[in-house]
Structure 1
Amino acid sequence: MSSPSLRRRRTRTAYPLLLLFAPVLAAGCAGGPPPTAAPSAGWVQPTGVATTAGQPAASTPAPAATSARPSASPASTPRTGLRHVFPVRAGNVDYHPTHSAYPGTDIFADCGEPVVAVTDGTILEVSRVDRFDKRGPLGPYNGGLSVSLLGDDGVRYYGSHLSRIAPGVDGGVRVRAGQRLGDVGRTGNANNVCHVHFGISPACTGRGDWWIRRGVVWPARYLDSWRRDGNREPAAEVAGWHRKRGCPKAPAAGGGGG
């Protein structure tokens, strides 16, 4: 077994190479063209009985191995000035500012490093089983193991390709900024590279809308701030996107998620 210092030196030399391949990796995460569906207006958050992993309520069917609480909805008055933290807690971490086909960021770190809540909020959706199959369908299961969080700022934060979901992280559970949600992995269509796909979006349905959940605004400038212990907030940009486009009901065709 190699010492931790030797393993870290080897890992650090790998990240420049990973960034060279980031466009290829991002294309794998995308799995298809970006959505161009016409916006839908006036979406109303559904209410109903919460579901748990593997036990969807009869009136609100959900994909297997996914836990969600459909009644979780954005606060009527989202809070400002909340603390925001970088979503991966690791010393050896890097990310590419661009992404193929749609806004998002791939954050590279060693498998097993902690993935944490960006801000205070409520867990919306959890996928604990990797159901991705490259034969299809492309999109719904591309993220493998994943977690989405509705921040108290009204923004949904999504992390996928995880290797593990932390115990107790389920739909409807309250979490705090910096709380561990899971571990960096390479599930779904991660192309066998340890990383986290990170997306920022409005909550919309709060579950199942992978074409929105995967990301609608570019995260890099927020990640840059949080990594420097700054607190740049994405709520205004996300709200502007939502006002302009609403909540598209489906991707234009096929599409892919992360």
Structure 2
Amino acid sequence: MRSRSIGRRPRSAYPILLLLVPVLAACATDRPTATAGHVTESPSAAATAGQGTPGPGAAPASASPAASPTSASPAASPTRAPLRHVFPVDAKNVAYHPTHSAYPGTDIFADCGEPFVAVTDGQVLEVSRVDRFTKRGPLGPYNGGLSVSLLGDDGVRYYGSHLSAVADGIDPGVRVRAGQLLGKVGHTGNANNVCHLHFGLSPECQGHDDWWIRRGVIWPAPYLNSWRKRGNRGPAAEVTAWQRRHGCPKAPATTSGAG
């Protein structure tokens, strides 16, 4: 009788594979996978980093409401400070009438030599440093004697005449500030030897000498009343309305009165 040798039966690998599957799966989850040369982070790694740049159309992972364009408060629009106005004669002892003969204007009575100053910021327009008035000459063009007109930044022309002197450096085109010296009160022109400043408000009419407009087209007294009390009432609206109605007349309605 032949004897059989009893050998060991090979063990099945199936149980071992069952133990290795969870381990391999865990390693695969934690390891970046390469796809066509691009490394994609696992969700846990991306959340931990938090520093990546989101792709096109992707919203940030944690966008705060303040960062949203719709929730941003609009920037405040800058507001321009109102133009400053001051009384045209820098003196305490002054007087003026609310009306004027023949056309709108105001005679401001003050001692000769008192400062005539810029009512507001602007640019010097016309300057007369020579007294050409004569009783035998034409009535109107030279009535003001020595004078200065200023185009304010508000579009109003401010005119002062009968000066005894025009300040140095005050020439057409020069920029001045409110309160800056333009000249000195006097009695040149047809002032009848009475020291005063003839003051007029008008629009600028370019292209010709418009002394009949320059001498004044609206009544200054309401504005002088405000400036004397350190108010800031401006004549721009009334001057603009006058020009809309009248334009720039090519000839004076009357040749009488101060200039």
Normalised by the length of structure 1, the TM-score is 0.68
Is the 1:113–1:184 Cα contact (8 Å) retained in structure 2? yes
1:138 and 1:257 in contact (8 A); partners too: no
Deviations, residues 101-124 of structure 1 (Å, cap 9, x unaligned): 000000000000000000000000
The amino acid across from 2:197 in the alignment is V
What are the within-5 Å matches in structure 2 for residues 106-185 of structure 1? 106-185=107-186
Partner of 1:219: 220
Cα gap change, 1:131/1:242 in structure 2, threshold over 3 Å: closer, same or farther? same
The one-character-per-residue Cα deviations of 1:195-236 (angstroms, maximum 9, x if unpaired) are 000000001127621000000000000000000000001000
**Quick one: structure 1 residues 207 and 232, their matched pair in 2 at CA, closer, same or farther if it must change by over 3 Å?**
farther
- Pick closer, same or farther for the CA change 1:91–1:183 going to 2, 3 Å: same
Structure 1 stretches (4+) deviating beyond 6 angstroms?
A: none
The residue type paired with residue 99 of structure 1 is H
Letter in 1 for 2:113: G
1:257 deviation in Å?
4.8
Is the Cα–Cα contact under 8 Å of residues 89 and 114 in structure 2 kept in the other structure?
Answer: yes
Q: 1:86-105 maps to which residues of 2 (within 5 A)?
A: 86-105=87-106
Q: CA deviation at 1:135?
A: 1.2
Q: Retained in 2: the 8 A contact 1:125–1:207?
A: no
- Residue pair 2:103, 2:257 contacting (<8 A) in 1 also: no
**Matched-pair contact (CA < 8 Å) for 2:191–2:258:** no
Deviation track 1:76-100 (CA, whole Å, cap 9, x = no partner) reads xxx8820000000001111111100
What is the deviation of 1:179? Answer: 0.1
The letter of the residue matching 2:177 is R
Q: 1:92 to 1:256 in 2, by over 3 A?
A: closer
Unaligned runs of 5+ in 2: 1-79
* Cα pair distance change 1:255/1:191, threshold 3 Å: closer
1:80–1:153 Cα contact (<8 Å) kept = no
Task: Please tell me the residue identity of whatever aligns with 1:111.
Answer: C
Letter in 2 for 1:229: R
1:83 aligns with 2:92: no
**Higher RCO (CA-CA < 8 Å; seq separation 6+):** 1
Count of matched residue positions in the alignment of Structure 1 and Structure 2: 180
Structure with higher Rg: it is: 2
In structure 1, runs of 5+ residues without a counterpart are 1-78
**Match for 1:250: what amino acid?**
A
| Residue type at the aligned position of 1:164 | A
Is 1:243 aligned to 2:221, yes or no? Answer: no
**1:200 is matched with which residue?**
201
Tell me the distance in 2 between the aligned counterparts of 1:256 and 1:250: 15
Q: CA RMSD in A?
A: 1.5
